[in-house]
């Protein structure tokens, strides 16, 4: 009789969350985003926390243009007014030639006359 070695099954995902460092978590930690793939009939095939691009602090997916927040000394440059993600750009001592401001929520009661900044 031969002694057979049976490998333990490998966990590839979690039903109610994402696999991170061998454990199921409901929310991926800072620097990671959750991604899942499904088999037929909405059965989870994989659900894992994947690393954000190194330029992002938090992100919504892979790549430099999917940053949600940026590390210190960087700012988020969104691609459009309809997205909450963009690219993290290093702050510099020289000001860009123009700024684009996105205002959300209720209308302001005082009009903005000018914007000044300091580095």
Give the pLDDT score at 116.
Answer: 53
pTM of this structure: 0.65
Question: pLDDT, tens digit, for every residue of 3-26?
Answer: 555 555 677 788 888 999 989 999
Question: pLDDT, tens digit, for every residue of 50-63?
Answer: 999 999 999 999 98
Question: pLDDT, tens digit, for every residue of 64-115?
Answer: 899 999 999 999 998 888 888 999 999 886 656 666 656 565 555 444 444 5
Nearest to 49 by CA among 9, 18, 88: 18
What is the side-by-side order of every strand in the sheet holding 23-25? 23-25, 18-20, 44-51, 32-38
Give the pLDDT score at 112.
Answer: 46
């Amino acid at each position: 009789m031969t002694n057979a070695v049976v490998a333990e099954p490998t966990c590839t995902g979690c039903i109610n969350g994402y696999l991170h460092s061998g454990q199921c978590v409901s929310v991926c930690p800072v620097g990671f985003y959750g991604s899942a793939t499904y088999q037929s009939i909405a059965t989870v095939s994989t659900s894992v926390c994947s690393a954000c691009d190194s330029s992002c602090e938090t992100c919504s997916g892979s790549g430099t243009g999917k940053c949600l927040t940026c590390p210190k000394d960087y700012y988020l440059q969104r691609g459009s007014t309809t997205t909450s993600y963009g690219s993290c750009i290093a702050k510099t001592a020289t000001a860009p030639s123009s700024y684009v401001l996105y205002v959300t929520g209720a209308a302001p009661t005082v009009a903005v006359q000018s914007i000044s900044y300091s580095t």
